[in-house]
């Protein structure tokens, strides 16, 4: 089965700085890679996703890059704001099974 | 559009008791997922339905967990009997296409 690793587990940045979270996956058949944001006590919310036929996708301050050869993908948040503080999960799926990473707790310091 | 509904939101039981959770997905979403999220960890897929058929239940502890989606809409997840390690948030999600998932608010289960 798929194995998704996520780093770092915790990340603190100053407001306005950039944050980068990285994930690796093991199954070369995986072709869909979403990122979810989960605030304390709330449900995961999809913030951006990328498919295996695309190398990079951007949505305002958030971008995701995918390197299929190396089997890793990254979330980039620019100009971070305090409301970006949350736990971020990556996931990978090649069809039926969805595998989530272990999460990154991001703290944006005002 | 209405989101994924789950009930109850919180449940406290003693070990060896039984418990059931209910999920109503977004209308028209054929795929439904149940996840277990232990504190500090990512969601772990327990079972995935496509309409009323099981697509994947490889990580479901079948000796104590069961789930059904009889009419291809609502779903229930049952634990019988519960163990201390079952304490977690149980998330239900639905998807229109098997990719983007929409999560419900979850049921927080505490087993004493």
Q: According to the model, what pLDDT value does residue B52 have?
A: 85
Averaged pLDDT for residues A102-110: 95
Interchain contact, A44 vs B45, CB within 8 Å: no
In this predicted structure, the answer to whether residue A95 has a pLDDT above a threshold of 70 is no
| Closest to A31 measured CA to CA, from A71, A74, A75, A77 | A71
B97 touches chain A (CB under 8 A): no
Listed range (A50-54, A87-91, B22-26) with the worst mean pLDDT: A50-54
Average of per-residue pLDDT across B15-26: 97
Asked if the model's pLDDT at residue A89 lies above 90, the reply is yes
- Percent helix, strand and coil across chain A, each to the nearest 5: 5, 55, 40
Report the pLDDT value the prediction gives residue A96, as an integer from 0 to 100. 65
User: What pLDDT was estimated at residue A66?
Assistant: 96
pLDDT of residue B47: 95
A54 at interface of B, judged by CB pairs closer than 8 A: no
- pLDDT of B55 over the 80 cut: yes
Residues in chain B within 8 Å Cβ distance of A96 = 48, 55-56
Decide which of A21 and B40 is more confident: A21
B73: closest CA of chain A, how far (Å): 19
Q: Is A10 exposed, middle or buried (0-12, 13-18, 19+ CB in 10 A)?
A: exposed
| Per-residue buried b or exposed e for B15-43, using 16+ beta carbons within 10 Å of the residue's own CB | eeeebebebbbbeebbbbbbbbbeeeebb
């Amino acid at each position: 089965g798929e194995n998704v690793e996520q780093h770092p587990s915790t990340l603190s940045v100053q407001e306005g700085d950039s944050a980068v979270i990285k994930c690796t996956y093991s199954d070369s058949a995986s072709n869909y890679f979403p990122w979810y944001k989960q605030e304390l006590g709330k449900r995961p919310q999809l913030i951006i996703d990328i498919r295996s036929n695309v190398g990079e996708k951007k949505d305002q301050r958030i971008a995701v890059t995918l390197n299929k050869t190396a089997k890793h993908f990254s979330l980039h948040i620019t100009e971070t704001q305090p409301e970006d503080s949350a736990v971020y999960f990556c996931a990978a799926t090649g069809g039926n099974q969805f595998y989530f990473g272990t999460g990154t707790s991001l703290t944006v310091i005002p | 559009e209405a989101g994924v509904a789950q009930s109850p939101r919180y449940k406290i039981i003693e070990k060896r008791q039984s418990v059931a959770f209910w999920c109503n997905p977004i209308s028209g979403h054929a795929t439904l997922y149940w996840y277990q999220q232990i504190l500090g960890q990512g969601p772990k897929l327990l079972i995935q339905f496509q309409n009323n058929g099981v697509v994947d239940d490889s990580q479901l502890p079948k000796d104590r967990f069961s789930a059904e989606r009889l009419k291809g809409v609502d779903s229930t997840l049952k634990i019988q009997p519960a163990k201390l390690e079952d304490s977690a948030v149980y998330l239900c999600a639905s998807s229109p296409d098997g990719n983007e998932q929409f999560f419900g608010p979850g049921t927080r289960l505490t087993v004493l």
